[in-house]
Amino acid sequence: MQSTPANNPLRAIPSVDRVLRELGDCPLPKPLVAHIVRETLSQIRRDGGGELPAIMDQIRDALRQTALSRIRPVINGTGIIIHTNFGRSPLAPAAAEALCQIASSYTNLEFDLSTGQRGRRSGYLQAALSLLCNAQGAMVVNNCAAALVLILRHFAAAPPRNKVIISRGELVQIGGGFRVPEILESSGAQLKEIGTTNRTTLDDYRKAMDGDAAMILVVHRSNFFMEGFVESPAIGQIAQLARDAQIPLVHDLGSGALFETTQLGGQEHEPTPAESLAHGASLVTFSGDKLLGGPQAGIIAGQAELVKRLERDPLFRALRCDKLVLAALQATVDLHLGSQKAPILEMMDMNLEHLSARAMGIVQQLPDLPIAIGHCQSQIGGGSLPKTRLPSVCLELQPAGASLEELAQRLRMGEPPVVGRIEDDLLKLDLRTIFPHQDQDLARRLAEVFFA
């Protein structure tokens, strides 16, 4: 059919100005709104046009998607304490305060207040972290992956000594996009794989120690476990071989537990940095935002001489942390030194009576809604302690007229977003990972989604 002015759907496409007037107030910056409107209108034009109400819906949808992609606080009802998708560890109030203070002021970041000369970045942190890890020296980079890249580039990227000895049982993937062999190779080092997936012996290490061996890397299997016909030598035994060959032994711990993790009831022991160094590792690496409970960072601790060499490596300049991260990490490390608890550790400690009382408090405010109080199990997450489960209390939501997925989506798309997990045909919200100060917001959101 020939299109005439009257039935040409492209004619119904409104102008950008018309759409902006129609939209009214929008929580996004005006130029960004105008840009999204323009882009969406041209897409609609390419698709052949449409009716005004449908066009407006499409534009509102595009704006909502953009608004939702802004980083914002989320109520974490998944029961996963260190959730990488939710930014891992929430900071302690003291760390958040330190962050605010440093953020809006000039600081002595690289200024020595006693001499008035240029000073060392993170001098205090190096001392405090060394004490915490019982190490000669310590330094901080962007994350644990960066710590490994720096170490490998420095100690193992120059032929003829460019081989990194690593057990095949440790060539693993840790979280999204972090594969140990890929990180290793991107640094210019070459792998010298030894042993098998389930068994690597001390003799396998011994046989690999020849002229091209630059270092030994031991990667803690933080996010999975192997059982059965399994063997790997103790760190102390590997350390002896490394000392004899005069090459560094680097132990990538990942989680960086500073406490005895078996007390959480899962019988899983995470080696602490101090323990690994005491057994003879030359350097350990771990994340700032896993069991340490601080901001994203990678900590390297160990022999002073090796740490100094890494600090002088030009690559360190590209991997160093900014003042905000250093301020938050400094406050977090102070908490540990003062035997106080980071929020993730308080969450792990929360007892069932306390959680039940909170659940009751929320449910009583919402008497007519299909919400029950149930039991569930929280997880540590963040690739730490994969076997450990903490008994917990949850709100169990029945979908009432919608599908579970629809209910979950409605909860996610409001303000603040609430994320739960679907299990046993219920949407469960684990109170362990929800801060008590979020209970009121949560009750309001629940009322909102059920009465929508």
Ligand X SMILES: *Cc1c(COP(=O)(O)O)cnc(C)c1O
Q: How far is the CB of 442 from ligand X (least distance, A)?
A: 29
* Sequence-separated (6 or more) residues with CB below 8 Å from residue 338: none
Q: Pick the stretch among 23-31, 121-129, 252-260, 420-428 that binds ligand X (CB under 6 A).
A: 252-260
> Which residues are paired to 190 by β-bridges?
163
Minimal distance, residue 428 CB to ligand X, in Å: 26
Q: Is 438 an interacting residue with respect to ligand X (CB under 6 A)?
A: no
User: One symbol per residue from 369 to 408: x for binding ligand X (CB under 6 A), - otherwise; what is it?
Assistant: --------------x-------------------------
Please, which residues bridge with residue 193 across strands? 166
Q: Is 261 in the site for ligand X (CB under 6 A)?
A: no
Residue with smaller CB distance to ligand X, 151 or 345 = 151
Q: How far apart are CA 420 and CA 426, in angstroms?
A: 10
- 14 or 175: CB nearest ligand X: 175
Minimum CB separation of residue 312 from ligand X in Å reads 22
- Told to check if 169 binds ligand X by CB under 6 A, we report no
The residue among 386, 379, 434, 387 whose CA lies nearest residue 411 is 434
The sheet carrying 371-381 orders its strands as: 80-82, 371-381, 384-397, 426-430, 421-423
d(C-alpha 298, C-alpha 288), whole Å: 6
Nearer to ligand X, 170 or 204 (CB): 170
Q: Which of 44/329 has CB closer to ligand X?
A: 329
Q: Please count the helices (runs of H) and the strands (runs of E) in the chain.
A: 17, 14
User: Least separation, in Å, of the C-beta of 147 and ligand X?
Assistant: 8
Residue 184 or 219: the one with the smaller Cβ distance to ligand X is 219
Encoded one letter per residue, x for contact with ligand X by CB under 6 A and - for no contact, window 297-316 reads -x------------------
Q: Which of 145, 156, 189, 362: binder of ligand X (CB under 6 A)?
A: 145
Least Å from the CB of residue 392 to ligand X: 23
In angstroms, rounded to a whole number, what is the distance separating the alpha carbons of residues 255 and 380? 11
Could you give the C-alpha distances from 5 to 9, 46, 53, 113, 122, in angstroms and in order?
Answer: 9, 18, 19, 76, 69
Distance of alpha carbon 415 from alpha carbon 5, whole angstroms? 44
Interacting residues with ligand X between 35 and 74 (CB under 6 A): none
Stretch that binds ligand X, among 247-255, 343-351, 368-376, 427-435 (CB under 6 A): 247-255
> Edge to edge, what strands does the sheet with 249-254 contain?
137-141, 298-302, 283-287, 249-254, 213-219, 163-167, 190-194
252 binds ligand X, rule: CB under 6 A: yes
As measured in angstroms, the least distance from the Cβ of 383 to ligand X is 4
Is 328 a residue that touches ligand X (CB under 6 A)?
A: no
Closer residue to ligand X in complex, CB, 252/430: 252
Is 391:374 a contact under the CB 8 Å cutoff? no
Task: Indicate whether 143 belongs to the interface with ligand X (CB under 6 A).
Answer: yes
Task: Reply yes or no: is the peptide bond before residue 416 cis, omega within 30 of 0.
Answer: yes
Q: Does 178 bind ligand X (CB under 6 A)?
A: yes
| Binds ligand X by CB under 6 A, chosen from 174, 257, 319, 347 | 174
- Minimum CB distance to ligand X smaller for 280 or for 383: 383
Cβ(326)–Cβ(122) under 8 Å? yes
Task: Output the smallest distance, CB 123 to ligand X, in A.
Answer: 23
DSSP 270-318: PPPHHHHHHTT-SEEEEESSSTT-SSS-EEEEE-HHHHHHHHHSHHHHH
Token pair for residue 50?
């449409």
Span 214-233, contacts to ligand X by CB under 6 A: 219-220, 222
What's CA 281's distance to the chain center, in Å? 26
Q: How far is the CB of 332 from ligand X (least distance, A)?
A: 14
Say whether 21 sits in a helix, a strand or coil.
helix
The binding track of 275-294 with respect to ligand X, each residue x by CB under 6 A or -, is ------------x-------
* 399: Cβ contacts below 8 Å, ≥ 6 apart: 370, 406, 407, 427
Q: How far is the CB of 360 from ligand X (least distance, A)?
A: 37
Q: Interface residues with ligand X (CB under 6 A)?
A: 143-145, 174-175, 178, 219-220, 222, 252, 254-255, 287, 298, 383
